């Protein structure tokens, strides 16, 4: 699994659709002639979202506007010390999502995020992560887990369709390990996501139109925060410290 997940910089359109399990079954029947199982077809995504103690990143995101950003640690299995994890920035400007990430072992990532022990990765992405970490004084806000199944289009190399099931979260004892007592976020509903570099193929447009499915804004972290904001917001005293003079390098173009 790690080979594919080690792509460290990319941009794309990511459109989300909240659907029922029954609708998911119908869509799977209709797309099966146009897609195939992804090389990494089924896995559980483990995420920790980081934010300032007073949750400024997600508050700004929920207020709307053209620019949103998040910082998260992600892995694709129940971790041990040596499990490969990805520390990511996710930035969205209008409809385009920009992701950059660095790969670290679980032990090194947790030491960096929780105890400020510096890792050995030195590049533009690590500088951006360091900027966000210091500027916001980030702390772990929530663990989010979900079971994902992935399909790639047969003829359009840039098109993927994924389904996130059993979306669940935890606000206490936040680490990447699933305990089994996490709370379901949207019940049995599924988040279907269409990821593409350009436009949708016509076969997909026809299926979406047939079922009158329209993309919608949905943030797993944002939904949790709306439901549990009092527990996830702590006052900050004093205000944010001044960080190093090196400016964050905003992503204007992305290499592939």
Cis preceding-peptide flag for 206 (omega within 30 of 0): no
Nearest-10 Cα torsion for 45, 51, 56, 57: -40
Number of H helices, E strands in the chain: 7, 9
pLDDT-derived band at 53, boundaries 50, 70, 90: very high
pLDDT value, residue 1: 46
Task: Enter the pTM of the model.
Answer: 0.85
Place of tokens 């436009």: 199
| Mean pLDDT to the nearest integer, 155-180 | 96
Distance CA 210, CA 137 (A): 47
Region of poorest pLDDT, from 8-22, 170-184, 195-209: 8-22
pLDDT digits (tens, 9 = 90+) for 195-226: 988 788 999 999 999 999 999 989 999 999 99
Extended beta strands in the chain, E state? 9-19, 35-51, 67-75, 84-93, 96-105, 139-153, 160-170, 183-184, 190-196
Domains, the chain, in order of start with CATH, read 2-232 (3.20.100.30)
């Amino acid at each position: 699994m790690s080979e594919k997940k080690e792509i460290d910089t990319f941009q794309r359109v990511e459109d989300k659709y909240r659907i029922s399990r029954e609708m998911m079954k119908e869509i799977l029947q209709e797309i099966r002639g146009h897609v195939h199982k992804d090389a990494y077809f089924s896995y559980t995504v483990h995420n920790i979202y980081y934010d300032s103690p007073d949750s400024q990143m997600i508050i700004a995101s929920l207020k709307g506007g053209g620019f949103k950003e998040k910082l998260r640690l992600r892995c694709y299995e129940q971790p041990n010390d040596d499990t490969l994890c990805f520390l990511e920035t996710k930035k969205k400007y209008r409809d385009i999502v920009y992701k950059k990430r660095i790969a670290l072992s679980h032990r090194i990532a947790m030491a960096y995020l929780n105890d400020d022990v510096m890792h050995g990765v030195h590049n533009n992405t690590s500088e951006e992560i360091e900027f966000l970490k210091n500027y916001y004084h980030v702390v772990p806000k929530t663990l989010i887990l979900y079971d994902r199944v992935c399909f790639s289009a047969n003829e359009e190399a840039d098109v993927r369709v994924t389904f996130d099931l059993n979306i669940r979260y935890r606000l206490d004892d936040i680490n990447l390990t699933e305990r089994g007592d996490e709370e379901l976020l949207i019940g049995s509903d599924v988040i279907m996501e269409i990821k593409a570099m350009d436009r949708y193929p016509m076969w997909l447009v026809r299926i979406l139109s047939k079922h009158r499915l329209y993309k919608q804004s949905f943030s797993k972290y944002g939904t949790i925060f709306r439901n549990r904001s009092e527990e996830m917001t702590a006052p900050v005293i004093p205000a944010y410290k001044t960080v190093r003079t090196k400016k964050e390098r905003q992503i204007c173009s992305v290499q592939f």
